[in-house]
Amino acid sequence: MALMSSLKDRLRADLTTAIKGRDEVRSSTLRMVLTALTNAEVAGKEARELSDDDVVSVLSSEAKKRREAAVAFDDGNRPEMAAKERAEAAVLADYLPQQLSVEEISAIVTAAVEQVGAAGEGMKAMGKVMGVVQPQVKGRADGSAVAAEVRRQLG
């Protein structure tokens, strides 16, 4: 197993390209992500190399922050700030696995409900179902959207 994250190498290489190409949005977004990755590496008890999975987790959470900020800026009537956040989220999306559609999430949840025998158990089966669903959707779907679908099917 390679210790270095190839995804992180790609982010670094793309940052260099973006700087040379004077692509402001991409270079500032990639700089910010690489900083977040460095912070994640030193966050624990001991510094560690991040795996590609770890990098995807950081990218996912950064993308989610951008989407949430864009909505907040829309609500605050700041369209130019919302557009900037969406542009950054779009850059991050380039490095994330293909996102699952609502239908795909629904199918995964349905299968998980059957797998753990949660039908008719209601909300107390939420944890069991999420435990089965989470590894399948990691990095490919927003956790709150997945949880909402689980609640819908169990409710």
List pLDDT tens digits, range 32-52: 999 999 999 998 888 888 888
Residue count (the chain): 155
Residue 147 has pLDDT above 60, yes or no: yes
How many distinct structural domains can be found in the chain? Answer: 2
Residues 57 and 112 in one domain: no
State the pTM of this model: 0.74
Average pLDDT, the chain: 91
Question: Are 88 and 114 in a shared domain?
Answer: no
Instruction: Please tell me whether residues 81 and 118 are part of one structural domain.
Output: no
- Distance CA(153)–CA(98), nearest Å, equals 24
Q: Is residue 31 part of a domain?
A: yes
* Whether residue 75 is found in the same domain as residue 11: yes
Domain of residue 142, residue span: 102-154
- Going 117 to 122 to 124 to 130, the CA torsion angle's sign is positive
Q: Residue 142's pLDDT is what? A: 81
Is residue 93's pLDDT more than 60? yes
Residue 12 shares a structural domain with residue 74: yes
Pair (106, 71) in one structural domain? no
Q: Which of 67, 12, 74, 71 is nearest to 37 (CA)?
A: 12
- CATH number of the domain to which 115 belongs: 1.10.10.410
- Please tell me whether residues 107 and 124 are part of one structural domain: yes
Domain boundary among 60, 93, 126: 93
State the DSSP code for 5: -
User: What mean pLDDT do residues 130-151 have?
Assistant: 89
94 half-sphere exposure, CB direction, 13 A CA radius? 13
Residue 1 lies in a domain: no
Instruction: Looking at the structure, tell me whether residues 32 and 71 fall in a common domain.
Output: yes
Residues 30 and 77 in one domain: yes
- Residue 37 resides in a domain: yes
